[in-house]
Amino acid sequence: MGEPAGGHAPFQMDETYPTSEIAAIVGKASELMGIPPHQLMEKYGESLVPDLFLIYKKYMRPEWRTYDMLLNTEAAMHAAVRKEDSRATPPLLLVTKKGRRQLVVDYYSRRRMAAVAVGIIKGIAKYESEKVEVTLLTPVGEERVQIRVYFLS
Ligand code: HEM
């Protein structure tokens, strides 16, 4: 295996790395696999969920399913992430209830990784065996992105 883009030692799980490196990796992988970058990021987000749940279980209530999990991500999960690792900068998520079957997630991050957010939302629903419809209300590659989550089950 060659060295990562920055020319540093192999990646470590408890280290932080510049966003430009992940952009370079996604760009190259997308080229090699012939899959658009945002689709790749979405799949990555989806695949992250079981590990996130394993590591952050203590911050979750057992009765939470996808709806409550999303409503509590900012206050419970991302707040815990920021507290446990001061170098971590998870995105700001403003989640608004639009009735019993619908949430609107306002994503904000300078990393422009809302496609990962879409994947995480789908991954949580899959983990909970729930059917959801995730729709982008604004373009996915921006710093601010609005995502609608509709609960079918
Ligand atoms: C379920 C519990 C969740 C946990 C434990 C969790 C934890 C984390 C952690 C550890 C990071 C890395 C931050 C860093 O190293 O700087 C992160 C980033 C991220 N999280 Fe979460 N997260 C959760 C839920 C969500 C949900 C529901 C969404 C989307 C609606 C989301 C969207 C993201 C995105 C897109 C990033 C990438 C960084 C960025 O865009 O700036 N997360 N999260």
Q: pLDDT (tens digit, 9 = 90+) per residue, 22-65?
A: 999 999 999 999 999 999 999 999 999 999 999 999 999 999 99
Residue 97 φ then ψ, to 5°: -75, 130
CA neighbours within 13 Å on the CB side: how many for 21?
11
Residue of the CA atom closest to atom 27 of ligand 1: 70
Other Cβ atoms within 10 Å of 134 Cβ, number: 16
Position 79 scores a pLDDT of: 92
Higher pLDDT, 138 or 8: 138
- pLDDT band at residue 153 using 50, 70 and 90 as cut-offs: confident
pLDDT band, residue 8 (cuts 50/70/90): confident
- For the 37-151 domain, the top CATH level (class) is alpha beta
- How many C-beta atoms surround the C-beta of residue 150 within 10 A? 14
pLDDT, one tens digit per residue, over 116-129 is: 999 999 999 999 99
Distance 88 CA to ligand 1 centre (A): 10
Look at residue 7 in the predicted model and tell me its pLDDT. Answer: 74
CB-based contact 75:85 (threshold 8 Å): no
Q: 94 near 74, Cβ under 8 Å? A: yes
**Ligand 1 binding pocket mutation candidate from 73, 104, 118, 130 (most atoms within 8 A of CB):** 73
Share of the chain above pLDDT 70, in %: 96
pLDDT surpasses 90 at 66: yes
Contact 21, 11 (CB under 8 A): no
DSSP per-residue string spanning 112-137: --HHHHHHHHHHHHHHTT--EEEEES
Residue 6 pLDDT exceeds 70 = no
Q: How far is CA 95 from the centre of its chain?
A: 14
Distance CA 123, CA 73 (A): 14
Which residues have any ligand 1 atom within 6 Å of their CB? 16, 52, 56, 69-70, 73, 77-78, 81, 88-91, 93, 105, 109, 111, 113, 116-117, 120-121
128 token code pair? 């909970």
Candidate of 78, 96, 142 to mutate for ligand 1, largest count of ligand atoms within 8 Å of Cβ: 78
- 5 pLDDT more than 60: no
Summary mean pLDDT of the chain: 93
The continuous run of DSSP H or E covering 148 comes out as strand 144-151
pLDDT at 64: 96
Per-residue pLDDT, averaged over 62-75, amounts to 96
